[in-house]
Each structure stands twice: as structure tokens, then as C-alpha cells.
């Protein structure tokens, strides 16, 4: 028997069935003129601003500019769903989670979900399994509960079903597409994905050596914070310093709210990780020593291992607080933790403010840290962007090399770090023990840049649970940011209709050190060692993973 979830989980009382949600979208179709505006703006962003276009055309044999031109000719013959579907597909085939078409309201404020989370683990023979790890509070069933193994999905073997879903995702390498396909099996922010075609799914699973099936309906929930996250203000201080997988950020937020043991309390008590406000626990010194000032960003604890006690720090986002507060909190946490070694776990971190990821590298290195390099693609539009006085002339140092490209024929500009080397090295080392970083294929953008810097500056070893990080090697701008940078009647950027939005990778990141010049995009960061998640990891707080990281920490 399945109980009414809303009776136990008040935050879900506003959720509706997928069928009911779709009824609300029937009268919201775009006009022909609105569709034409969307396509024209996408053409400008991809053809003139998108830094990875030559790379993507070469690697994946695609031509998104031509597809947009064809779509423009078909505007009058497509349904609204067909139009949005084609726009999403054009953007996703570039396999770049920075470069997105974001659906208009009401889609982008809503998430469609099933009442459980599914994760994967590997057995001793390296065979992959999928199990239920959490159900929404208030959901009860005699046999469908955490720990059961999923065997099939709508009659399709589960491994194949995940692979088919992964093919619809924009991850830039096989590992990245797989994990995003897995995540989207049960939680899908509709900013980046149209509602499922099916209104329910049938899951096959085993429990106590018996095989069962269960039919579960898709539900839709609105999260107030989503609109703010999907439409970040262009006048914020770090609008030009972003490196973020927004879909991962939205997914993480939805999972936290939906699957917390007390979702309502968690939502009310956890401060916004982007806020620099001091939380109420400031008066309790003991709590301060056990809990981060920004619990949505950091969690930490000492860990007992056979080699002695070490520290464990989870960084869930680089989106906030602002860099000075971010660095100071990492320093404070590092000083509270055991000094015999530190595990920094950045799995599932979709990125955020790039300087947050780069400034903390100095805290763990005795040598001067060299930051990764950023490059524009060279053309008249990016030259105008670099010449802009907005955001304190953030890109003036790129002007000369972009301008010279008319003579040199260079595709990319000269590379510069996103901030001065003096700021990147203004504090120096604050933790003297060895450090290991744990990554996965959900790591993206700023987190890719952090992992690349950690490896390129030879600070320590990286332990991966996947073969690569997510490979997001760029600085991302929203369409609204581009409108703000290039203002006036001659600007190529026009207001998008109905709350539609777009994002684009505008500056490419290349590596330093032994891998100098290699792009982060698509390649990602390969770990020094790999640990495949075990059943004990997914059910018992990463038990084997932390043991493997501790062992790697002690290696010379």
C-alpha cells in the first residue's frame, strides 16, 4: 500500500500529477514572431559567441548553426512541443552543460519527479547494479523500499534504460552522460527538459530474492528558488566569473528538498549558500566547531582510519558565499579538522564562482599556484564584449589579442587567468597535511577547474569514482548578461520572449603545468586512482570510498 505522501511531507502538498500540470500549459503557446526571436538570438549566441563551436563541430560532426537555420524555416509547421524539443536537441547535441536553451514559464520553475532515488554500485566482479537509496518521506510500501534492486524500467533492462536516457543528456564524455542519465531517471528540472511523454512508469525490482513490479506516477512540484537560479541578476558582482552546471544545481536543490528526512525543516533552516549573512549559530561556540557557517555549501567531520584520524570536507557548491568569505570558511574548517591528512570531496558539485575554486588551492600548497587560462573565440562580437566597460572592464586584457586576430587569423585569443596571480596567492598555505580530492562525473565547470588546478599544481592525488570529471571547461554567460554587456540600439542581443533564457560558454579554459594548453572541455580531469562505489558506499555513508581515499592519502 502507498500512503498519501502529503500527509507526512507538508512541503509536497502543492505537487500535482503530470497530467494536471500539462493542462496548465495548453494556452501558453509561443507566437510565430516569438519563435523567430528565439531562433535568431540562438544563432547569434552560437555562431558569434560560443567558444567551443570549432571543437564541437570537429568532435561530434555537428552543425548547430545550420540546424537553427533549418528550424527557422519550419517555425510555422511545428507544434509548441516540437519547437521546444528541437531547440533543446540542437543545444544538447553540443554536449555542453554550459550552453543551454532554457524553457519558458511555467516549465522552468517546475521539476517532475518520482518518489524515490536510484543509485548505482559495483559488486566484486565489477558488475553494475542499481538500487533504491531513498524514498520521499511519507511514501510507504511493503516491498518497495531503500535497498531493493531495480531490474527493469517499463520492460527495458535497467542498464539499457539508463543508457537510453543518457543519450538524451548533454554530458561531454561517456561517464558524464551516464550519471546525468541516471539522475534524470527520477528527478528532472523542466528548465532543461520537456515533461516525460509517459504519465507513469512501471519499475521491476527484486526484494528478498522475489521479483515485483510497481507502477508510479510522475509528480510535478514548483520550487520558488528555481526562478532566481535560472535567471541570475546581471548586476551581481560575480556575474562574469561563473562556471556552473545549472541543471545539476537545480537537480541537487530538488533532491535535497524532496528526499530530506524532514524536508520542510531543512528548507527553512539551511541558509542560502550564496548568502554571506552570518547564521544564528554564531552564539554557540560548540556548534560553530561542528557545523559550517554555510551548511548548504560545506559539511565536515573528523574520520577515524587505521592510519589515524584525518579530516573530511565535502564542498557541495562553489556558488557561494562570495570569495573572501568562502576562502575564510575553508581556512576555519581546515584549522578545526585533524592535521594528519584531509579528504576534500567535491562529488556532485556543479560549480559556481570560478575564483572560489581557484583561490582555495593556495591553502594546500607550499608553492605558488598557477591558475588555469581562459580564451575567447576571435570575432567582432567578442571584441566588442572585451572592449565593454561594464563590470569594471572585466575583459580588457583580452582586447589586444582578439584585435590582432584579423591579422594573425588565430581562432582563439591569448589566454589569461580570470583574476590576478596576486589574489590567487594572497594567503598561502594554511593546511600542512597531505590532501586527496574525490571527484565524479557530476563535477562540472568550476569544480573541473578546481580539480585541474589541484592536479596541474601537483598539490595531491585525485580519487575518482568515475573515469573522468564532467569536463566543463568554460566561463558561462547568460543571454541577459550579454544584453547588459552590449547595450544600446546596435546590440545584437534582444529580449527573449515569455521568460525563455539561454546560456553560453564564452571563455574556454585550458590547463597549465604538464598539460599546458589542453582544453578542459570534453576531456575533463582523469583521476590518479579509481574507486567504484560499493553497496556499502551508497547505503552507509561512503564507508568504502572514504577508506580508499584515506589509504591513497598515506601513499608517498
pLDDT for 553 beyond 80? yes
pLDDT for 230 = 52
Q: How do residues 145-198 score in pLDDT, each as one tens digit?
A: 999 999 999 999 999 999 999 998 988 889 999 999 999 999 999 999 999 999
What whole-number percentage of the chain has pLDDT above 70? 90
pLDDT for 7 beyond 90? no
pLDDT for 317 = 96
CATH 2.30.42.10 domain residues, the chain: 5-10+110-227
Average per-residue pLDDT in the chain?
90
Give the mean pLDDT of 263-275.
37
Q: How do residues 30-80 score in pLDDT, each as one tens digit?
A: 999 999 999 999 999 999 999 999 999 999 999 999 999 999 999 999 999
User: Which residues lie below 8 Å from residue 353, measured CB to CB, with a gap of 6+?
Assistant: 238, 241, 242, 243, 318, 319, 320, 322, 323, 326, 446
- Do 151 and 211 contact (CB within 8 A), yes or no? yes
Query: What does the block give as the cell for 76?
Result: 510555422
Cis link prior to 99 (omega < 30° from 0)?
no
Total residues belonging to the chain: 556
pLDDT for 319 = 92
Q: How do residues 319-361 score in pLDDT, each as one tens digit?
A: 989 999 999 999 999 999 999 999 999 999 999 999 999 999 9
- pTM, two decimals, is 0.92
CATH 3.90.226.10 domain residues, the chain: 284-371+418-472+526-556
Q: How do residues 367-387 score in pLDDT, each as one tens digit?
A: 999 999 999 999 999 999 999
Beta strand residue intervals within 321-409, DSSP E: 342-345, 351-353, 373-375
CATH assignment of 284-371+418-472+526-556?
A: 3.90.226.10
Q: What is the DSSP string of 140-161?
A: --SS-STTPEEEEETTEEHHHH
CATH architecture, domain 5-10+110-227: Roll (2.30)
pLDDT for 229 = 59
pLDDT for 23 = 87
- Do 164 and 221 contact (CB within 8 A), yes or no? no
β-bridge mates for residue 373, sequence order: 510
Amino acid at each position: 500500500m502507498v500512503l498519501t505522501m502529503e500527509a507526512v511531507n507538508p512541503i509536497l502538498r502543492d505537487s500535482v500529477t503530470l497530467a494536471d500540470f500539462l493542462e496548465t500549459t495548453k494556452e501558453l503557446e509561443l507566437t510565430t514572431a516569438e519563435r523567430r526571436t528565439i531562433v535568431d538570438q540562438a544563432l547569434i549566441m552560437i555562431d558569434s559567441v560560443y567558444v567551443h563551436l570549432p571543437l564541437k563541430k570537429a568532435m561530434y560532426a555537428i552543425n548547430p548553426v545550420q540546424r537553427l537555420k533549418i528550424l527557422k524555416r519550419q517555425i510555422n509547421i511545428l507544434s509548441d512541443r516540437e519547437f521546444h524539443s528541437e531547440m533543446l536537441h540542437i543545444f544538447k547535441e553540443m554536449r555542453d552543460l554550459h550552453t543551454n536553451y532554457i524553457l519558458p514559464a511555467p516549465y522552468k520553475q517546475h521539476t517532475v519527479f518520482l518518489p524515490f532515488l536510484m543509485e548505482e554500485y559495483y559488486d566484486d566482479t565489477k558488475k553494475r547494479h542499481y538500487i533504491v537509496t531513498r524514498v520521499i518521506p511519507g511514501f510507504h510500501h511493503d516491498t518497495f523500499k531503500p535497498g531493493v534492486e531495480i531490474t527493469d524500467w517499463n520492460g527495458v533492462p535497467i542498464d539499457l534504460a539508463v543508457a537510453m536516457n543518457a543519450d538524451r543528456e548533454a554530458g561531454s564524455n561517456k561517464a558524464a552522460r551516464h550519471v546525468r542519465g541516471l539522475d534524470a531517471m527520477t528527478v528532472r528540472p523542466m528548465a532543461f527538459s520537456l515533461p516525460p511523454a509517459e504519465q507513469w512508469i512501471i519499475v521491476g525490482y527484486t526484494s528478498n530474492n522475489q521479483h515485483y513490479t510497481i507502477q508510479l506516477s510522475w509528480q510535478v512540484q514548483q520550487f520558488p528558488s528555481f526562478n532566481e537560479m535560472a535567471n541570475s541578476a546581471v548586476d551581481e558582482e560575480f556575474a562574469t566569473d561563473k562556471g556552473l552546471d545549472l541543471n545539476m544545481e537545480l537537480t541537487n536543490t530538488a533532491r535535497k528538498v524532496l528526499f530530506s528526512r524532514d524536508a520542510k525543516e531543512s528548507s527553512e533552516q539551511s541558509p542560502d549558500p550564496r548568502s554571506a549573512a552570518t547564521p544564528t549559530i554564531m552564539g554557540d561556540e560548540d556548534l560553530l566547531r561542528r557545523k559550517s557557517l554555510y551548511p548548504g555549501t560545506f559539511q565536515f567531520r573528523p574520520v577515524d582510519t587505521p592510519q589515524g584520524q584525518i579530516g573530511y570536507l565535502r564542498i557541495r557548491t562553489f556558488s557561494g558565499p562570495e570569495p573572501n568569505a568562502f576562502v575564510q570558511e575553508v581556512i576555519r574548517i581546515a584549522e578545526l579538522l585533524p592535521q594528519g591528512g584531509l579528504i576534500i570531496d567535491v562529488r556532485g558539485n556543479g560549480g559556481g564562482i570560478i575564483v572560489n575554486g581557484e583561490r582555495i588551492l593556495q591553502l594546500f600548497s607550499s608553492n605558488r599556484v598557477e591558475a588555469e587560462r581562459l580564451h575567447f573565440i576571435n570575432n567582432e562580437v567578442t571584441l566588442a564584449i572585451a572592449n565593454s566597460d561594464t563590470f569594471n572592464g572585466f575583459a580588457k586584457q583580452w582586447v589586444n589579442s582578439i584585435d590582432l586576430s584579423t591579422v594573425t587569423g588565430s581562432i582563439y585569443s591569448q589566454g589569461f587567468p580570470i583574476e590576478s596571480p596576486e589574489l590567487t596567492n594572497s594567503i598561502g598555505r594554511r593546511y600542512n597535511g597531505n590532501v586527496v580530492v574525490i571527484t565524479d562525473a557530476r563535477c562540472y565547470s568550476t569544480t573541473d577547474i578546481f580539480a585541474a588546478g589541484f592536479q596541474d599544481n601537483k598539490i595531491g592525488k585525485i580519487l575518482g569514482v568515475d573515469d573522468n570529471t564532467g569536463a566543463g571547461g568554460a566561463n558561462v554567460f547568460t543571454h541577459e548578461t550579454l544584453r547588459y554587456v552590449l547595450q544600446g540600439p546596435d546590440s545584437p542581443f534582444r529580449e527573449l520572449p515569455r521568460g525563455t533564457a539561454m546560456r553560453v560558454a564564452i571563455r574556454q579554459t585550458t590547463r597549465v603545468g604538464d598539460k599546458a594548453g589542453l582544453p578542459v572541455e570534453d576531456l575533463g580531469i582523469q583521476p590518479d586512482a579509481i574507486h567504484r562505489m560499493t553497496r556499502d558506499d551508497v547505503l552507509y555513508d561512503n564507508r568504502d570510498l572514504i577508506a580508499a581515499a584515506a589509504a591513497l592519502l598515506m601513499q608517498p
